[in-house]
Amino acid sequence: MFGTLTGLPGSLFDDLGRLQRELDEAFGRWPYSAELRSPGVGSWPPVNVGATPGRVDVYLFAPGLDPNELEISIQQNLLTIAGQRRIDRGDEAGWYRAERFSGEFRRALTLPEDVDPDNVEASYRDGILHVTVQRRESAQPRRITVR
Amino acid sequence: MNTEVKTRTPDAAARRETPSLRPAVDIVEDAEGVTLIADMPGVDKERLHVRVDANTLQIEGEAQVDLPEGAEALYADVRTTRFSRGFTLSNELEPDKIDAQLRNGVLTLRIPKHPEQRPRKIEVRTA
C-alpha cells in the first residue's frame, strides 16, 4: 500500500533521492566549500561570484535593503559585507507565512589573490548588491612566444 | 508592470521546463484583505508578471544580473534567474482589485476582500 509516494513505479528512496537532487539543484551545493569563513548552505542573502581576467564581480541577492546601512569593507583579498533587514511582523494575528529573512547578516568572501583593494565599487539595484573588484595588471595572461 | 486578468495561460507547460526558484514570501491577513510580500531580487517592472484569475494568483519574474562578457562562475548560490510561485485564492478575495508595488526587488501585493464578506463579529448570547 505504501510502495510509493506518487503512485508511479519506484521505491520510496527513489522519491527521496529525486527530492534531494532537486533541492540541491535549486540551492546550489556546488562548489562544496570548506573555507573557514563560508556560511552554511542556505544562508541569507545568497551570493554569486564571477570573474574575468580583469575583475571579480560579487552579487548579493538581497531585496529590501537600505544601501546606506550596508558595511562593505575589503582587507587585501577578503571582502566583507554586513547589513541587516528588519521586518516588523508586529503582534497582529493573521501571519500565514513569514519566510522572508529578517535580521543581521555578514558575508566574508575570500576573493582571488590578485584583486586590488583600492579599486572596489558597489551598486544596489532592484535588490541586487553588485560589488566589482578590479584585478591587478600582472594577472592578465601574457602571451609567450616560442623562439 | 504586467497585470493580466485571465484564465490559465497556454504556455504554462513550456514555462515549467525552465527551472525556477520559489521566492520567499510573507503573507498576512487583516480585516480588509491579504498582503503578500515576495523577495524577487533583480526583477524590475518590465520583467515582473502577476497573473490572477478567479481562484489563483501566479507571480513570476526574471532577474537581471549584470554579467561582464566571458565571466567565469567562481561561486554560485543562485543558479537560475527565474522566479515563480502560485497561490490559490479563496472566494472572499477580489483579485481584480489587486494592488502591486515593486521596489528594490520586493513585490508587495494587496488583495482586498469583498466588502460584504469582511468578518463580522459574532456576539455570544448567554442564557
DSSP per position, chain A: --S-SSSSSS-HHHHHHHHHHHHHHHHT-PSP---TTPPPTT-SS-EEEEE-SSEEEEEEE-TT--GGG-EEEEETTEEEEEEEE-----S-S-EEEE-S--EEEEEEEE--TTEEEEEEEEEEETTEEEEEEEE-GGGS-------
Rounded CA gap, A146 and A131, in Å? Answer: 39
**Strand pairing partners for B82?**
B62
Which of B24, B29, B44 comes nearest A96 by C-beta? B29
Taking alpha carbons only, the member of B115, B110, B126, B124 closest to residue B3 is B110
Segment A130-143 shows an average pLDDT of: 82
Contact flag B72-A46 (C-beta cutoff 8 Å): no
CA-based nearest residue in chain A for residue B39: A63
Mean confidence (pLDDT) of chain A: 82
What is the structure's pLDDT at B34? 93
Is residue A31 reached through a cis peptide bond, with omega within 30 degrees of 0 on the bond before it? yes
Segment A90-108 shows an average pLDDT of: 87
Mean confidence (pLDDT) of chain B: 85
Fold of B2-66+75-116: Immunoglobulin-like (2.60.40)
What is the structure's pLDDT at A11? 60
Residue B54 Cα, gap to closest chain A Cα (Å): 21
* Cα dihedral A22/A28/A31/A34 (nearest 10): -100
What is the structure's pLDDT at A72? 96
Q: Residues B36, B23: contact at Cβ < 8 Å?
A: no
Contact flag A95-B28 (C-beta cutoff 8 Å): yes
Residue B2 has pLDDT above 60, yes or no: no
Partners of A65 on chain B (C-beta within 8 Å) are: 104
Task: Provide DSSP, chain B.
Answer: -EEEE-S--TTHHHHHHS--BPPPEEEEE-SSEEEEEEE-TT--GGGEEEEE-SSEEEEEEE------TT-EEEEES----EEEEEEEPPTTB-GGG-EEEEETTEEEEEEEBPGGGS----PPP--
CA-based nearest residue in chain B for residue A62: B41
Cell of A88: 516588523
* pLDDT digits 0-9 by tens, B108-118: 999 999 887 76
* pLDDT digits 0-9 by tens, A15-60: 677 777 677 655 555 555 556 666 666 789 999 999 999 999 999 9
Residue A119 Cα, gap to closest chain B Cα (Å): 17
Q: What is the pTM (predicted TM-score) of this model? A: 0.76
Q: Which of B30, B39, B69 to mutate to test the interface with A (most CBs of A within 10 A)?
A: B39
The pLDDT > 90 percentage for chain A reads 53
- Residue type for B122, please? I
* pLDDT digits 0-9 by tens, B29-79: 988 999 999 999 999 999 999 999 878 999 999 999 988 888 999 988 888
What is the structure's pLDDT at B76? 87
In chain A, domain spans: 37-139
CATH class held by domain A37-139: mainly beta
CB-neighbour burial class of residue A69 (10 A; exposed 0-12, middle 13-18, buried 19+): exposed
Segment A2-20 shows an average pLDDT of: 60
